[in-house]
Amino acid sequence: MNPRPPHRLALATRTVQLLVVFIVFAGASLWSTSGFLRKNDQATILTGVIDWARGERQPWSHYYQFDKTYVLYAYTAAWLRINQVIRPEADPVRVANRAVAVTFWLALLLFLLRYRRHLDPLVLLLVLSAPALLLNTQYLNSTTLSSAWLLVSLAALPRRSWAALAFFLAVGARADVILLWPLYAWLTFIPLAARGQAMPQLRFPTIGKWREFFSNDWKTPLALLGAGGAALVLGRWWAGDSGTNLDWFFQPKMAAGYIAFGFGAAVLWWLGLTVRIGRTGPRWWGGLGALALLLPVLFFLPQLHAPRYFWRGAEALLMVAALAPAVGHISGRGLRRGLAVLAVLPLLIGLDWSNWTAPRLTVGQPTVFPSGDGHYPMGAYASFLGRFRTAETVPIDHNQRVWWAARSATFEPDQAGHVGVVMTPMHGYLMLAGSMEGQSVRVTPFDPETVTGQYLDSRTLMRHDVKFGGQELEALLAEPLASVSADYDGIRIVRVGEGDTRWGEQTRALNRWFAGDEYRIGPADTVVPVGRRAVWFAAEPFANAERDAATGWYLSSVPAHGSDLQVAYSALPTWMSVRTFR
């Protein structure tokens, strides 16, 4: 028997490498996907899905950017309806999380099989090891589903109609995926005669080749652009402007951390690829390509709320590697080994940075930092995936605590039959809890004249937040507040206008002590984590305590004991305080 031709052996080897990388990361992702809630937007989307399925809905503006994510609502609702027939007792949160996760990984598998001849396995490793993807495929979110449809669109090429339909769904699931269209167009317009050649040999074709090119290849990019534009128009026509387009927020210190612990090693190749593309063909042509590659990241830098915003930048690397292999391939044995090591090591090893002056390596307890998507770890991502798997019972951050409190709360409707919820950064959890109980939930902006009888989470009142603070916060804390749920490390659900002002006075005293930093509350003998600021407090005097003149509560930074005492401690290391990042 004659041996296989070398090209067949090389293709088989490449395919096996791609599948190994895929199986490892897809397996870890699906293993860690459970029924936990990771963020407020996720809860708001699920509320809209449940309300929609039940035939009752609030104005689209009360849900998370419905006009830009309506495909996600429809897709998730379809899965929930199917599940209600097959397993009506199943948790809708778990069903929704797994539905989106499975969709993404199946779409990626289809993409890999389609481009297995071109795709560099190292590029796939860099993309999947980036925390922006690695830590965001386990729960319902618009980025994951839009990415799945984008991959299907690319896999459907050159079948123009199917690719356009999938791109329509991608933009309808999350509108910002259209930021990748310029890069796709640029990759398509790489001259046909030069495709597959080494970079220094790239040349523009003759006039005859240009005529041949424009008579064929221009139709597909325009078809995708038309489909994406139609998705945007449909969303705006259907729901109006039901969400914020831009939410400006940029803090250089946080941006640096998000890049390092969000983009990961992929950022190095992203920068290198930008330079390589910039040198492609004429200067103006290369400049357009570099700008197209940079666009998905530059768009989000002025509104960088979470490391997840680097997902689109990672997708861009996959697109280049698949559609322009001569450009997207990583050459050089030393460079390849270095990037592989930088991609793999953070999966296993992280930083314990509880003490700013004495960071140390860890494999299981990396320090976490805040983001708009909850707490992210400083490396040791493999162990953190295990926390995702157990997050239904062991909390990762405030998101699970707020959800547990909301699920344990007793909501009473008003005279009109609605449960009133104050719009806060955490209001989605209350909306979802009420909807899952069959209640008709109505969300309203904070208004001192109408807030009585409405519900909100205590976590919003126990920290500084640029979206909810100042006079609004002080006004609420001056109102009588009654707890209507279980308490989870100080986080509970309260109803305004009932009870007394005792809890509000306690919170005012602690807010001043922590100067806007988020904190947790427990019994006086609670073991305070290393690197956290702590204060022991009570309503009555105790040893070493000082009286807060404004509220009458007693506080002390000296550890104390007693059944009537409690301790409050910062949720994050002291060096991550609000003052540090102002």
pLDDT above 90: residue 51: no
Does 319 or 286 have the greater pLDDT score?
A: 319
Dihedral sign from CA coordinates of 323, 325, 326, 331: positive
Residue 198: the pLDDT is 38
> Rounded to the nearest 5°, which phi and psi values hold at 211?
-65, -40
pLDDT above 60: residue 196: no
DSSP calls for 139-205:
S--HHHHHHHHHHHHHHHTT-HHHHHHHHHHHHHH-GGGGGGHHHHHHHHTS-GGGTTS-GGG--PP
Residue 3: the pLDDT is 41
Mean of all residue pLDDT scores within the chain: 89
Token pair 């400006």: residue: 248
Query: Quick check: 112 and 68 in contact, CB under 8 A?
Result: no
Residue 172: the pLDDT is 96
> Rounded to the nearest 5°, which phi and psi values hold at 466?
-65, -20
Which run of H or E residues covers position 523?
Answer: strand 519-523
Residue 215, classified by CB atoms within 10 Å of its CB into exposed (0-12), middle (13-18) or buried (19+), is exposed
Three-state SS letters, 269-292: HHHHHHHHHHCCCCHHHHHHHHHH
Does 82 or 245 have the greater pLDDT score?
A: 82
What token pair was written down for 9?
């052996």
Lowest mean pLDDT among 64-73, 79-88, 477-486, 569-578: 79-88
pLDDT, tens digit, for every residue of 413-435? 988 888 999 999 999 999 999 98
Token pair 């997050």: residue: 391
Alpha helices (runs of H) in 499-557, residue ranges in sequence order: 502-514
Query: Quick check: 120 and 325 in contact, CB under 8 A?
Result: yes
Which run of H or E residues covers position 442?
Answer: strand 440-444
Q: What percentage of the chain has pLDDT greater than the value 90?
A: 65
Cα-based distances in Å from 144 to 32, 98, 309, 412, 469: 15, 11, 12, 36, 32
3-state secondary structure of 35: coil
pLDDT above 60: residue 384: yes
pLDDT, tens digit, for every residue of 74-109? 999 999 888 888 888 888 999 999 999 999 999 999
Residue 246: the pLDDT is 61
Give the pLDDT band of residue 441 (cuts 50, 70, 90). Answer: confident
Q: How far apart are CA 50 and CA 179, in angstroms?
A: 30
Paired sense of beta strands 350-352 and 566-570, if any: unpaired
Token pair 């593309």: residue: 277
- Side chain identity at residue 308, one-letter code: R
Which run of H or E residues covers position 483?
Answer: strand 481-483
Span 453-462, mean pLDDT? 94
Q: How far apart are CA 185 and CA 171, in angstroms?
A: 16
Nearest to 170 by CA among 144, 150, 143: 150
Sequence-separated (6 or more) residues with CB below 8 Å from residue 373: 38, 39, 136, 305, 306, 307, 308
> Rounded to the nearest 5°, which phi and psi values hold at 350?
-135, -170
Q: What share of the chain is helix, strand, coil (3-state, %, to 5)?
A: 55, 10, 35
Sequence-separated (6 or more) residues with CB below 8 Å from residue 87: none
Residue 553: the pLDDT is 95
> Rounded to the nearest 5°, which phi and psi values hold at 333?
-65, -40
Q: How far apart are CA 342 and CA 70, in angstroms?
A: 37
Does 388 or 54 have the greater pLDDT score?
A: 388
What token pair was written down for 458?
């205590």
Q: How far apart are CA 549 and CA 92, in angstroms?
A: 48
Paired sense of beta strands 546-547 and 554-556, if any: antiparallel
Nearest to 115 by CA among 187, 222, 43, 201: 187
Nearest to 429 by CA among 384, 473, 502, 485: 485
| Distance in angstroms between the alpha carbons of the first and the last residue of the chain | 71
Rg (CA), the chain: 26
Give bridge partners of residue 536 from the DSSP assignment.
556, 567
What token pair was written down for 397?
């951050």
Give the pLDDT band of residue 214 (cuts 50, 70, 90). Answer: low
Residue 202: the pLDDT is 45
Query: Quick check: 100 and 76 in contact, CB under 8 A?
Result: yes
Half-sphere exposure in the Cβ direction for 151 (13 Å, CA): 25
Span 381-390, mean pLDDT? 95
DSSP calls for 61-90:
GGSS-HHHHHHHHHHHHHHHHHHHHH-TTS
Nearest to 563 by CA among 533, 532, 542, 581: 542
Q: How far apart are CA 536 and CA 559, in angstroms?
A: 7
